[in-house]
Structure 1
Amino acid sequence: MTGTSQLVLVLLATSLALQLVGGSTLDAASGAQPEGLQDERDRIVLAKCCEEHEVLLDHACVPLAEANETEAWRPDFESEDGYPGAKPPRLPRYLFKYGPPRCRSNENQWDVYHYSSSSDTLVMLTSGKLRHYVPDQVDEIVKAKELYGTEFLEPEDVQAKAIHYDYPFGHYCADKAILTKDNLSAIYAKICVPRAVKWASTDNLIRKAVDPALHAIAVVCYLVVAIVYFVLPQLRDLVGNIVTSLMVCLIVNQCASFITIFTEFGNHINFLATDLVMFISLLAAFFWLNALGYYIWKTFRSKNVFLRSTDKKKYCCYATCVCGCTVAIAATAIFAHFTLEINKPIIGGVSFEAQETLGWLGLSVLFMTIAFSIFFNLYFILTTKNKLKRMRTYGRIHHKMKYNFRTFILVCMAMSIGWVFLMLSLSKYNGLVYCHIILNALQAFIILYVCVFGQKRVTFLLGKTCNCCISNENAEGMEWGEEMTAINAGY
């Protein structure tokens, strides 16, 4: 047996021994775990307002004997999709934690009593959540028909569509309550509810008035850029078509973002679909920006810019690549959300049923792709700037591409900064949200200025087309090549 084969055998034996030792160590560690700890992990946690052998007597926790009670409170469970007459659910194993909930700074504690003639209904779900059905919305088929516009509803449909709030552990406590004044026994819960928002508050005005107005202004800015580059025939080259497509994606993004502002209209809005449209259109906009950067980068690297296919064929090629990449990444994000997402964010309201929105896993797929596209754009910018420094002479196409390159840099900077603050605004901190609202409109103004009013060639063509704002500049005062544009345009 050679030395190499002996070494292989020694390594295999060592690896096997380490695996056996590691496995026995893990078994010993798991075997040493107390059974009580394992049982506790298998149970759901419920919040009880009073101690184990206490009940609530006239708003105060007292022992069972003092309240003339023999048994402590035990919850009656229902499944989340249960309805009257449904099969009773399998009772879960649970563990009590005692004490009132600790509400957040923007929440208030609210007492709810559930008894036979009360309008409120409290239900303990098998998941450990406390469900509170809103008054006048439980088991009323007529009210459900008025809300949802149907001629007939099954009992399970009424229960499923009834308006309710679900409170997880930490946002409620429940117990049995004895009210001596009214001589009745009830189920009591102390829940954390959001404070009422005043319309005139600064936060509400910024989110519900200023933000929609700035979204509308941003849509107008992007629409002006798209119309200018689509209508003027001198701008309908490959760069102009890419800019138009980029503006269309940004307009769709702004419209979808505008819809998500008004979460109180949840009956008419699918938040998951709106979020997908908003973020996928933003992803497509960055892919179009990538296409523009690649085209400029490739033009400066090409040795002969005249040996090229038509702009129409190139645009079809770029559009196919952008649409294909967008569809592939979007499909990956949707697959990740529906199959791999564990904690799906929920939006619920008083007037609509709770809905799920796009989770962090799907967002991470979309946002990481945008981050990589920004890195590619940075590479295009740096390499193209180095190429420009080494160039001694410029042709007409290179000169035109030089100004397109400047436009690309400024648009890329504006969109990248806007994306960063969009990502930061998802943390829900008011300051970051306000910064995103302002920068969202500022980004639109910057793109409008860079693409239209900041380019003499575009303003010159607009002035000639609209017969207004025509300056008396001579050829020396114009950018190099602009006088050729005037000749080609027939002015």
Structure 2
Amino acid sequence: MLLIINILTLLLYPCNAGIGKNVNARPEVLVNKCCLENDIYIGKYCKPVEFVGDKWSPLFTSEKGISNLQVKHKFVFGLPDCGHTQPWPIYHYQNSTDKLRLLPNGVLRHYFDHQVPEEFDFEMELIEGKNLYQDYEQGKYCMDKKKDEIQREFAWVCPPDHKQMWTTNEFLMHNVVNPISHGITIIFLLMVAVIYFVMPTLRDLTGNIVTTMCMCLIVNQTADLIRLLTVFKSHISLFITETICYISLLGAFFWLNSLGYYIWRTFRSRNVFLRITDGKKYCYYGSYAWSCTLILGCLAVFAHFTMDYQDMKPTLNFDQQQEQIGSLGMIIFFVPIAFTVLVDVFFIATTLKKINRMHTYGRIHHKLRHSFRMFLLLLLTMTLCWLFFLSSFSKYEGLINSHIIVNTFQGPTIFYICVFNQKHVSYLLRKTCCYENCICPCCRPDREQEWGDEMTAMHTQC
């Protein structure tokens, strides 16, 4: 009898073991992690957790908001493969408008509503037709912890192929309003450059500096537009575009600094009739502006590849991290702009004192007074736009949208300062329009001319 029982036990044991194995064994859920297992993001780079604290572990939440689910998972390291499109970041922190939830099946769900309840009825949401979230399948996202000013959870995701994404405010501001604002600014800057280059009487030293400065700003706006809207994945092309964007902006401020020095030096000089042509002066100022711009640009690129915080270098070679210039390179690009602004403020203060002490003006000083006013307004406009440009590097959507809106008015404001606010320039435009076509009364020049425009007015016979 005992022998029969033992034989039955041996026959039934494999079946029971197999049944228990199938019941307890569950498939592992794949979770994409941006950095390595023991790394998290610090700023733009991955760094080992022993330097910063705890490592990141996924927190699974059900569709109905039930959190702290125990799910057996396995990490897959690296950025998502988005093909020819660039991944974009989503940040999840306290009181943020974006919420990230990792579902038990490994799908990342992004809620982009301002308030997402802890528990909401999934079926009721489908009935009401609300578009509160976007799902990203495994391989189309990666999650990790990010620590800079604040500690938060974030994810790189591939742009979803969703027909209704264009209706979101973020998509409209970044992909519709932003290109329009760049286009408007480029058009007005190009008009200023053409006017100052075509008009013979405006091709003096001040006019050439204004033309060169506008061309630098046009290159800056074009490169910035390409940098924001590019769909290419090559980090080399994006790095080159970003470098051109910053170098052209740096050159514009150095040319503005040259204009301020020219006005300041002329007002301080006892003899304004110097034996030097405007062409030679332009070469001298150009040597200063371009040499400083190129030297600082090369130094910033060199610092990015060799000296940009070695302890913050990424442990993984991510294309997204290589696109942007490092912190040290950004400092070398933008700190000289701040110094040029301070020097320009000194030029304005000392020149303004000199103008207030002068009782009589010659023709050159009278012309330079208008150039001084233009220089002052250009400095205010470009500095304000530059500050908003710096604020756009933050992760706050309000500051990014503010930069987009302010950038729209940069071109029209510079056009007004350099054309309509300069009576001499606006008079030449009306005179040229009247000379070509005398039908339109609004284009006819005024009877009151600026000092030096009397001979020009004699040729205008409507």
TM class by shorter-chain length?
A: 0.5 to 0.7
Find the counterpart in structure 2 of residue 204 from structure 1.
171
1:241 pairs, out of 191, 200, 208, with 208
Q: CA deviation at 1:478?
A: 2.8
Find the counterpart in structure 2 of residue 434 from structure 1.
401
Find the counterpart in structure 1 of residue 15 from structure 2.
none
SS in 2 for 1:108: strand
Alignment RMSD, CA only? 3.9
Distance 1:170 1:404, change over 3 A: closer
Structure 1 Cα separation of the partners of residues 373 and 205 of structure 2: 16
Structure 2 Cα separation of the partners of residues 377 and 423 of structure 1: 20
Does residue 473 in structure 1 map to residue 446 in structure 2?
A: yes
2:100 pairs, out of 108, 113, 121, with 108
Superposition TM-score, scaled by structure 2 size: 0.66
Find the counterpart in structure 1 of residue 335 from structure 2.
368
Q: CA deviation at 1:471?
A: 2.9
> Is the CA contact 1:344–1:356 (under 8 Å) kept in the aligned structure 2?
no
Q: CA deviation at 1:331?
A: 1.5
The farther-off stretch of 208-217 and 40-49 is 40-49
Distance 1:345 1:282, change over 3 A: farther
Find the counterpart in structure 2 of residue 311 from structure 1.
278
Distance 1:370 1:345, change over 3 A: farther
2:373 pairs, out of 400, 403, 406, with 406
Query: Identity of aligned pairs, percent?
Result: 42
> Is the CA contact 1:345–1:357 (under 8 Å) kept in the aligned structure 2?
no
Letter in 1 for 2:451: W
Letter in 1 for 2:244: V
SS in 1 for 2:249: helix
Letter in 2 for 1:402: R
Q: CA deviation at 1:164?
A: 7.2
Alignment of 1:117-266 (within 5 A): 167-169=143-145, 198-266=165-233
Deviation per CA, 1:173-223, whole angstroms, max 9, x where unpaired?
xxxxxxxxxxxxxxxxx9956596821011211111011011101000000
Structure 1 Cα separation of the partners of residues 78 and 194 of structure 2: 55
Structure 1 Cα separation of the partners of residues 222 and 292 of structure 2: 22
Find the counterpart in structure 2 of residue 300 from structure 1.
267
Superposition TM-score, scaled by structure 1 size: 0.62
Find the counterpart in structure 1 of residue 325 from structure 2.
358
Does residue 456 in structure 1 map to residue 448 in structure 2?
A: no
Distance 1:40 1:295, change over 3 A: closer
SS in 2 for 1:270: helix
Gaps of 5+ in 2: 1-47, 60-67, 80-90, 107-135, 148-152
Count of equivalent residues: 346
SS in 1 for 2:166: coil
Letter in 2 for 1:227: V
SS in 2 for 1:426: coil
Deviation per CA, 1:326-355, whole angstroms, max 9, x where unpaired?
011112211221112234799x99xx8764
Q: CA deviation at 1:251?
A: 0.2
Distance 1:300 1:485, change over 3 A: farther
Q: CA deviation at 1:390?
A: 0.9
Q: CA deviation at 1:423?
A: 0.9
Find the counterpart in structure 2 of residue 483 from structure 1.
454
SS in 2 for 1:394: coil
Alignment of 1:386-405 (within 5 A): 386-405=353-372
1:446 pairs, out of 392, 407, 413, with 413
Letter in 1 for 2:189: Y
> Is the CA contact 1:414–1:443 (under 8 Å) kept in the aligned structure 2?
yes
Does residue 285 in structure 1 map to residue 252 in structure 2?
A: yes
Letter in 1 for 2:102: W
Letter in 2 for 1:234: T
Letter in 1 for 2:101: Q
> Is the CA contact 2:144–2:155 (under 8 Å) kept in the aligned structure 1?
no
Deviation per CA, 1:448-485, whole angstroms, max 9, x where unpaired?
011112222112222233335443532xx333333255
Structure 2 Cα separation of the partners of residues 363 and 485 of structure 1: 48
2:239 pairs, out of 272, 278, 282, with 272
Letter in 1 for 2:243: L
The farther-off stretch of 428-437 and 370-379 is 428-437
Letter in 2 for 1:284: G
Alignment of 1:48-67 (within 5 A): 61=70
Distance 1:48 1:285, change over 3 A: closer
Letter in 2 for 1:461: L
Structure 2 Cα separation of the partners of residues 40 and 464 of structure 1: 70
SS in 1 for 2:450: coil
Higher relative contact order (CA 8 A, sep 6+): 2
SS in 1 for 2:275: coil
Q: CA deviation at 1:279?
A: 1.0
Distance 1:267 1:454, change over 3 A: same
Q: CA deviation at 1:46?
A: 5.3
Letter in 1 for 2:220: N
Structure 1 Cα separation of the partners of residues 327 and 375 of structure 2: 30
Structure 2 Cα separation of the partners of residues 454 and 41 of structure 1: 60
Letter in 1 for 2:444: S
SS in 2 for 1:479: coil
Distance 1:417 1:168, change over 3 A: same
Distance 1:353 1:164, change over 3 A: farther
SS in 1 for 2:378: helix
Find the counterpart in structure 2 of residue 183 from structure 1.
none
Structure 1 Cα separation of the partners of residues 399 and 371 of structure 2: 32
Find the counterpart in structure 2 of residue 416 from structure 1.
383
Structure 2 Cα separation of the partners of residues 327 and 489 of structure 1: 45
Structure 2 Cα separation of the partners of residues 345 and 225 of structure 1: 44
